[in-house]
Chains A and B, each alone.
Chain A
């Protein structure tokens, strides 16, 4: 079980690293001599958030045109999936050990994790 989890985590990390590296290489190929300051102005009021994608839809449309920023964001999303996979896997681990207390505990952690990842961005309170 631990071995499978190790393989899942490792391939997730390598996969995500490869995607981010591809996006970075594409960006550098076109912009290596640009002045960085233009990319670092914080402008969350701009839709969609300045010049890079910050939603699944904009990443999706960016990927279609091989936009380097969208490729990097996709790599980040794959990376983000690895801690979730780890918690989800522990759920099976504890279930296999028939450890009911920890199955509940892990299920609670997984629920809160998924809820805050997916739902909190929708609340204006946290969206300042």
Chain B
């Protein structure tokens, strides 16, 4: 393949990855990695390096809009970020002792099981308002945002402890497998903390950028960030993310949850297929 073809293929695929990623709160590695490794024959090290760049680009590209529309809950994001950080440090430390195949099989299975509660509330536009109590009250884990039709949506977080455990798992996965774990972050906020879906995906969007930036230095110094691969990825993702964010602010929570369920199923299958060694 010649350079210009390679660039254009990757650029177009990245626009799609950026749009999807910014809507459902994941980094786009789900699309970018298989395209690079299976379709373009790129080494997995470069593919993971490109995936880190794609996570940061999705997060940063979407951030300006989500900050302006105040959908992202910085307070909840920052609280949960402590769990992700600790999890990823533990993950990186024990990665050498565990088999990636077993881990992918386990996490893939967890993702498939979590489809059940997700599908059960698939038609829920806004969660019923929760009582603000315990740790959530102490840390004031609540918020509100304004929908495009002018309605002000208020919500309180519940089960912050369970949410934090979910984030520990998400961090562990990032540290162990070197992949983003936006799906686990969104699941914890949606299922355990009962936040509106758009708050969950945009807050995850904020968090994945911070987590990826923390590990970017390692990949960069190792030489895994190949500019000829990351350039079309970054440019495509930035354009895709700006499309995705404009779609998200207008979208219904139910629509976002449906798209997320499909992405979740796809990423579970991808993990299990990798574990089985195909």
Q: Which residues of A contact B (CB under 8 A)?
A: 2-3, 5-7, 9-10, 12-13, 16-17, 20-21, 23-24, 27-28, 31-37, 39-42, 44, 48-50, 52, 54-55, 68-69, 72-73, 75-76, 79-80, 82-84, 86-87, 90, 93, 99, 101-102, 105-106, 108-109, 112-113, 116-122, 126-128
Residues from chain A with Cβ under 8 Å of B53 in the complex: 76, 79
Residues from chain B with Cβ under 8 Å of A20 in the complex: 231, 234-235
From the candidates B46, B215, B234, name the one contacting A76 in the complex (CB within 8 A): B234
8 Å CB interface, B195-231 against A = 206, 209-210, 212-218, 220-231
Can you offer 29 A-B residue contacts whose CB atoms are under 8 A? A3-B68, A5-B67, A6-B68, A9-B67, A13-B61, A20-B235, A24-B231, A27-B228, A33-B3, A34-B2, A36-B2, A36-B3, A42-B46, A44-B45, A50-B223, A52-B226, A72-B228, A75-B234, A76-B53, A83-B56, A83-B60, A83-B213, A84-B213, A86-B67, A86-B206, A102-B75, A102-B139, A119-B217, A120-B215
Contact assessment for A79 and B223 in the assembled complex, using a CB-CB cutoff below 8 Å: no
Contact assessment for B217 and A121 in the assembled complex, using a CB-CB cutoff below 8 Å: yes
Given contacts A2-B70, A109-B81, 13 further A-B contacts (CB under 8 A): A28-B4, A39-B226, A68-B227, A72-B230, A73-B227, A79-B57, A84-B213, A86-B206, A87-B78, A87-B210, A105-B78, A113-B210, A117-B216
Residues from chain A with Cβ under 8 Å of B220 in the complex: 54, 76, 121
From the candidates B43, B56, B67, B222, name the one contacting A128 in the complex (CB within 8 A): B222
Residues from chain B with Cβ under 8 Å of A40 in the complex: 40-43, 46, 226, 228-229
Q: Complex: how many Å from CA A43 to CA B43?
A: 10
Which bucket holds chain B's interface residue count? Answer: 35 or more
Contact assessment for A83 and B3 in the assembled complex, using a CB-CB cutoff below 8 Å: no
The B interface, classified by DSSP as helix, strand, loop or mixed, is helix
Q: Complex: how many Å from CA A35 to CA B218?
A: 29
Q: Complex: how many Å from CA A24 to CA B194?
A: 43
> What sequence of 0s and 1s flags, for each residue 1-13 of chain B, a beta carbon within 8 Å of any chain A beta carbon?
1111111000000
Q: How far is the CB of A67 from chain B (nearest CB, A)?
A: 10
Q: How far is the CB of B74 from chain A (nearest CB, A)?
A: 5
Residue of A nearest to B1 (CB): A36
Contact assessment for B221 and A127 in the assembled complex, using a CB-CB cutoff below 8 Å: yes
Q: Complex: how many Å from CA A83 to CA B66?
A: 13
| B63 in contact (CB, < 8 A) | yes
Contact assessment for A90 and B42 in the assembled complex, using a CB-CB cutoff below 8 Å: no
Residues from chain B with Cβ under 8 Å of A49 in the complex: 222-223
Number of A-B contacts (CB under 8 A): 189
The A interface, classified by DSSP as helix, strand, loop or mixed, is helix
Residues from chain B with Cβ under 8 Å of A12 in the complex: 60
Q: Which residues of B contact A (CB under 8 A)?
A: 1-7, 40-43, 45-46, 53, 56-57, 59-61, 63-64, 67-68, 70, 74-75, 78-79, 81-82, 85, 92, 139-140, 206, 209-210, 212-218, 220-232, 234-235, 238
Q: Complex: how many Å from CA A2 to CA B19?
A: 23
Residues from chain B with Cβ under 8 Å of A16 in the complex: 60, 234
